[in-house]
Structure 1
Amino acid sequence: MNLCTDQIALMLAAPGQLISVSRLAVDPLSSSMAAEAAAYPPNRGQAEQIFLMKPDLVLASTYSSISSVALLRDLGVTVVQVEPVNALSQVEAQILTIGQALGRETQAEALAAEFREGLKGLTWQGELATAAMYYPNGYTSGAGSLADDVLRTAGFHNIGAELGLTGGGTLPLERLVMAQPDVIVTSTPYPGGSRSEELLNHPALAELRQEAGLATTTDADWVCGTPHILRALRSMRDAREALE
């Protein structure tokens, strides 16, 4: 019932073991495995809906609906809650935790080793440039977030963290312009229109993008602490090399 645990379960589960994924798992803007997830019935994280599927195990996040988790447990369903990943160093532990819950320890150890091997050589060794993550409503990721760790590993100071933000928060456009980042990282717009996204079309931001060495976009690979985060790290490492 959680996007991030869903994707690791999709990588580890035996044939027939997985019976449902969260509705976000089939959204290509949120999920790196939307095509694979489309083979399973989606759920909305509601206890009644999930209970009627008669699962032996429910994978959830510690941020999943408290009432749904409590009701499922009261009904005798085993629920394993997994902490969100806030650093690249935590990805392996999450893979192993979910593998143990599924009884797929051998497959989990192999996937963790594959991730560990993929991480080698992606850490930037030289001087750090500056990057700013900027999303609808001026939202950004600060210190202690997975995105911040990706930026630092790839060779960037995170403007959000440099300005004192922890986790996530709002970065005023004026402060972003004054920071003059080398790279601006933003998101792919959702279909339709939204007032929260109007800020991304501001003339000051457009001019800042032209002055920056590079502008790039995040995608579903950035959302969760799965092996797919390596693709996000690689794209930012490529952006850092491009500045040279």
Structure 2
Amino acid sequence: MPARVEIATTASRASCRYGRTLLLSLMAGGLFLAGACGTAAMESPKRVVSMNVCTDQMAMLVADDGQLHSVSYLAGDPATSVLAVEARRFVVNHGQAEEVFLMQPDLVLAGSYTTRATVGLLRQLGIRVEEFQPETSFDDVRASLRRMGDILGRQSRAEALVAELDGKLARARAHPHRDLTIATYFANSYTSGAGTLIDAVVTASGLTNLATKLGLSGTQQLPLELLVLAKPDMLVDSEARYATPALAQQTFVHPAYRALSEETARVSVPAKYTICGAPFTATAVEMLTEAAASRSESGHAGGAQP
């Protein structure tokens, strides 16, 4: 290991050990934030820290000025976050218990898959942590927005966002394309079937999801042979491609896939619109609706790519 890397790694480990020692000392001494958090539990939080890219974005949309203090580092990644530019206004965290604790939040927002040790330790320290499940439908998105509004004391703002979402979905429903079948296909030959947010997006677009039609649920692999034999009317994949060859994306360079993509109307939907549920998820619906309309008007496949 190069000397500089070794020194940096050693320093990082020492910092983590110090942070954990500090937390354990505070726990042993009973110096919790329980008193402050307990009295503020029924009030709107004043200093909020989010540790999950989905709660990051939802909080950025709902929170009042100055209410949200910190978001996760993923919130600033334009490939992952729709609100990457907005995220620059907030302090960045990496989901470590010690760094979050030292920010002295009166509320921490986390996803249900956020590191369990971090969530557990923060709660032991008396910090209020609210966890959000991943959204798999637009009803889930509405429920999460309203819950965020309740937690932050911003119910009116949350309702406005729900209305914005419903307006976009209503416009998409005005132009159904049920006769068109669409296949979603991502790295490692994965597709999204019933019970996923992507399936909800496809359904809201008035299209038929090939994966659901084949009886697939959740995120599963769809063999290239089945995809080619199914001959979908439209093909959706992520526009992202690795800079160097990777086994995860070997299907995209396969001759059979190339031939299918050339013969089928193809639309690239950036993953950031479907990773998390929010009003911006309707942008993915709009992309598919526009691509389907173009496909129907042309009367043939032809690489439609908004």
Percent identity for Structure 1 against Structure 2: 40
**Matched AA of 1:106:** S
Deviations 1:21-77 (A, max 9, x none): 112111111111000012222222222221121111111112222211111111111
| Cα-Cα RMSD | 1.4
In the TM superposition, residue 19 of structure 1 has moved relative to its aligned partner by: 1.3
Structure 2, unmatched stretches of 5+, are: 1-50, 297-306
Q: Out of 190, 207, 218, which is 1:156 matched to?
A: 207
How many angstroms does 1:126 deviate by?
A: 4.7
Residue 231 of structure 1 is matched in structure 2 by: 283
Alpha-carbon contact 1:209-1:215 (below 8 Å) kept: yes
Aligned counterparts of 1:115 and 1:152: Cα–Cα separation in 2: 15
- Tell me, in whole angstroms, the C-alpha distance in 1 between the residues paired with 2:205 and 2:53: 25
**Unaligned 5+ runs, structure 1:** none
1:129 equivalenced with 2:157 (yes/no): no
2:145 counterpart residue number: 95
Deviations 1:77-116 (A, max 9, x none): 1111112111122222111111111121221122222222
Measured in 2, the distance between the counterparts of 1:120 and 1:157 equals 18
2:166 maps to 1:107: no
Instruction: Report the equivalent of 1:65.
Output: 115
Scaled by the length of structure 2, what TM-score is found? Answer: 0.76
Q: Which residue of 2 aligns with 1:170?
A: 221
AA of the residue aligned to 1:236: L
Displacement after TM superposition at 1:190 (Å): 4.7
Alpha-carbon contact 1:187-1:218 (below 8 Å) kept = yes
Worse-superposed segment, 108-117 or 131-140: 108-117
Partner of 1:23: 73
Is contact 1:189-1:197 (8 Å) kept?
no
Please state how far the C-alpha of 1:119 moved relative to its aligned partner: 2.0
Q: Post-superposition shift, 1:199?
A: 1.9
The answer to whether the Cα contact below 8 Å between 1:142 and 1:160 also exists between their aligned partners in 2 is: yes
Aligned AA for 1:118? K
**What amino acid maps onto 2:122 in structure 1?**
L
Q: Secondary structure at the match of 2:237?
A: strand
Q: Which has the larger radius of gyration?
A: 2
Please give the alpha-carbon distance, in whole angstroms, between the structure 2 residues aligned to 1:236 and 1:90: 21
Range moving further from structure 2, 40-49 or 175-184: 40-49
State the one-letter code of the partner of 1:165: L
What does residue 201 of structure 1 align with?
253
Report the residue type matching 2:130 in the other structure. Answer: V
When residues 90 and 26 of structure 1 are mapped into structure 2, their CA distance, relative to the original with a 3 A threshold, is same
Q: Scaled by the length of structure 1, what TM-score is found?
A: 0.94
